[in-house]
Structure 1
Amino acid sequence: MQEILAYLSEYPDAEDTLEGVAEWWLLKQKVRHKASEVKESLSELVAQGILLEHKGKDAHIYYRINRSRYEGIKAIQQKT
C-alpha cells in the first residue's frame, strides 16, 4: 500500500489498470529503492579496490572488475 501511495504522491494525475499499477507504479518504486542499494554496494566495492570505475565519453560512470583482485573476489564469493 505504501508504494502505491508514494507513487501517487509523486504523480497525482496517474491512472492505470491493475496490471499497469503492478507493472509500472510498483516496479518504478522498487527500482528506485534498489538503485540506492546498488549505488551503496558499488561505492563499497570501489573503495575496497574490487571494482574499478571510470567516466565514459557520455559522462556516465562505468564499473568493471579489477582483474588484479580476481582471485580475492572468488574467495569472497565462496565465503557467502
Structure 2
Amino acid sequence: MNPDTAHTVQQLSHYLWRHPNACDTAEGIARWWLLDARTSPPLPVVMSALDHLQALGLVQAHRAADGRVRYRRPTADAAHDAQLQALAQCPWEASHPAPRHTPPPRMH
C-alpha cells in the first residue's frame, strides 16, 4: 500500500471511529471527512483506502435510490471500534489487523 493510501486509511479509520453513523459518497468523504488535510486526497486514493477498509470488514458500500454508492460502517460494535481505533492511532508501518479473509499465521 502506498503512503498516501495508508495515511487516508488512518484518517478514515479515525473518522469512522468517532462518527459510527457516518455515511457518504466517496466524493463527500474526500471533501468532508478528511478535514485535517490541506487539500482533499485524490479520489483514487480515497477509493483505494475505502477498498482496504471494506476488505477488513470495517466499511460497507450501499447503492442508494439515486444510484450513487455510499459508504458506512456495517455495525457500531466494540470489535469494530477497537480495529478502527488501532488503525487510527498507530503508524501504518506498525502492526495492524489483518483482513478478515486472511487466516492467521500458523505457529509451529
TM-score by length of 1: 0.52
Q: Which residue is equivalent to 1:56? A: 64
> Taking CA–CA contacts closer than 8 Å with sequence separation of 6 or more, which of the two structures ends up with the larger relative contact order?
2
Give the CA deviation at 1:70. Answer: 1.8
Gaps of 5+ in 1: 1-29
The runs of at least 4 consecutive aligned structure 1 residues that moved more than 4 Å come to: none
Gaps of 5+ in 2: 1-38, 92-108
Give 1 or 2: higher helix fraction.
1
1:1-80 aligned at under 5 Å gives the runs 34-66=42-74, 67-68=76-77, 69-80=80-91
1:65 deviates by 2.1
CA shift, 1:75, in A, is 1.7
3-state SS, counterpart of residue 53 of structure 1: strand
Which of 1 and 2 has greater Rg? 1
Q: CA RMSD in A?
A: 2.1
Q: CA deviation at 1:72?
A: 1.4
Equivalent pairs counted in the alignment come to: 50
Query: 2: distance between equivalents of 1:42 and 1:72?
Result: 15
